[in-house]
Amino acid sequence: MRIGDPLKMDHWYFGALDATQARRMVIWATEFNLDGQRVPATLLADFLKKLDAARLDALAFRMNDLPRLDGRARQHLVESFQGDDEDFVTDHSSDLQSFPRLAGIAPDGEISIEAFARAMLLIEIAIILDDEGAMVIFSYSIDPEHSDNVMDVCFNEKGEHTETVRNVT
């Protein structure tokens, strides 16, 4: 439902939204409880860009399906760890002194790629609405207090996987 200004909207899921304040900004924020873990989520939009109700609707449906999307994201982590990002697992599991959370999970450093992906913590969900479309990014860390390495798994507004990227925060 529109308020009148194409940069503002009262959306059925996200509520009152306003894209008139900054270059790229948070226009909505919440926390989800996913498997007993509180996960912050933010919706970011470009400054002075028309809000697209259809894209927002598609993103809202993704938010209503977080457990399934998280499961799919973790499967994409496994695939990434079996390919280009294989060293992500070995870099962490070979230095347990630096990553106490992982040491508690795999004290001997032996952990399967699948178990490592399951053990990663979902630390943030970013929902981005821009000129190219919309995407949902799930950010994972094995030990957020001690590791600056994050794996981002990206989906488009239809829930299709677009990429898995290793980042340093």
Is the pLDDT confidence value at 67 over 90?
yes
**For range 67-88, the mean pLDDT:** 94
Residues 57 and 79 in one domain: no
Is the pLDDT confidence value at 97 over 60?
yes
- Distance between CA atoms of 42 and 27, rounded to whole angstroms? 8
Burial (CB count within 10 angstroms: exposed 0-12, middle 13-18, buried 19+), residue 138? buried
Burial (CB count within 10 angstroms: exposed 0-12, middle 13-18, buried 19+), residue 55? middle
Residues 101 and 157 in one domain: yes
**133 located within any domain:** no
Residues 143 and 167 in one domain: yes
**117 located within any domain:** yes
pLDDT at 3: 41
pLDDT tens track for 110-138:
999 999 999 999 999 999 887 777 889 99
**13 located within any domain:** yes
**129 located within any domain:** no
pLDDT at 130: 77
Residues 48 and 108 in one domain: no
Question: Strand pairing partners for 17?
Answer: 9
Residues 78 and 41 in one domain: no
Range of the domain at 72: 66-122+138-169
**For range 47-62, the mean pLDDT:** 81
pLDDT at 126: 94
User: Which helix (H) or strand (E) segment is 166 a member of?
Assistant: strand 161-168
Q: pTM here?
A: 0.85
Residues 164 and 85 in one domain: yes
